[in-house]
Amino acid sequence: MEAFSANLGNRRIEVVRGDIVKERVDAIVNAANSTLLGGGGVDGAIHRAAGPDLLEECRGLDGCGTGDAKITRGYRLSARFVIHAVGPIYRGGQEGEAQLLDATYRRCMVIAAEHRLQSLAFPAISTGAYGYPRREAAGIAFRRLLQELRSETTVERVRYVLFDASAFETHEEVLRELLTKRS
């Protein structure tokens, strides 16, 4: 199976290959756009799987800023909630993209703790249509997620879900590097 996981005390981070809409966790994170009214990529897949009630709830949220996130119910998904996160569009790296991507992951973890969630599944935010270089984005994502999992939080398990084989390989490599650097 294509999966890699690491324990951090009683917390755990898992990198897996798969389709995030099938994840059985408390919340899946959506790589949304700032309208929160649906889009392509993972956003489209989540809305299709959750059904029309998800869009209805999103219409009431008045959008979401870049680097921020908002939570809704999961409707027909196995996940009870969806955290809609808006990562930055990559414009060359000199426009605060790294800080914004980091803030996006941080906000998701804050919202998860506020709702006392224990398990989350993330996609590789900003690395599709938003063009963020994959390896750089993976480093930002995992540094933040590891830091949050080593801090006070209700979240015990983070799954990081990659759709394709080469994305999975890069993410596994980046996480392994970060884990060995520290120990």
Q: Which one, 31 or 117, has the nearer CB to ligand ADP?
A: 31
Among residues 19, 26, 43, 53, the one annotated as catalytic is: 43
**Under rule CB under 6 A, which residues in 147-166 are in contact with ligand ADP?**
161, 163
Contact 46, 20 (CB under 8 A): yes
Size of the site for ligand ADP (CB under 6 A): 20
Q: How far is CA 99 from the centre of its chain?
A: 15
**Under rule CB under 6 A, which residues in 79-138 are in contact with ligand ADP?**
87, 123-130
Which residues does residue 72 pair with via DSSP β-bridges, in sequence order? 82
Closest CA to 157 of 97, 109, 100: 109
Residue 152's Cβ-count burial label (10 Å; 0-12, 13-18, 19+) is: exposed
Q: What is the arrangement of strands in the sheet containing 27-31, beginning at the earlier edge strand? A: 3-8, 11-17, 157-162, 119-122, 27-31, 81-85, 69-73
| 43 in catalytic set | yes
Name which position in 15, 16, 20, 100 contacts ligand ADP (CB under 6 A): 20
Q: Does 31 bind ligand ADP (CB under 6 A)?
A: yes
User: From the CB of 150, what's the least distance to ligand ADP, in Å?
Assistant: 25
Which tokens in the block code for residue 44?
A: 């489209």
Name which position in 16, 29, 36, 42 contacts ligand ADP (CB under 6 A): 42
Which stretches of the chain bind ligand ADP, using CB under 6 A? 19-21, 31, 41-43, 45, 87, 123-130, 161, 163, 167
Residues identified as active-site? 43
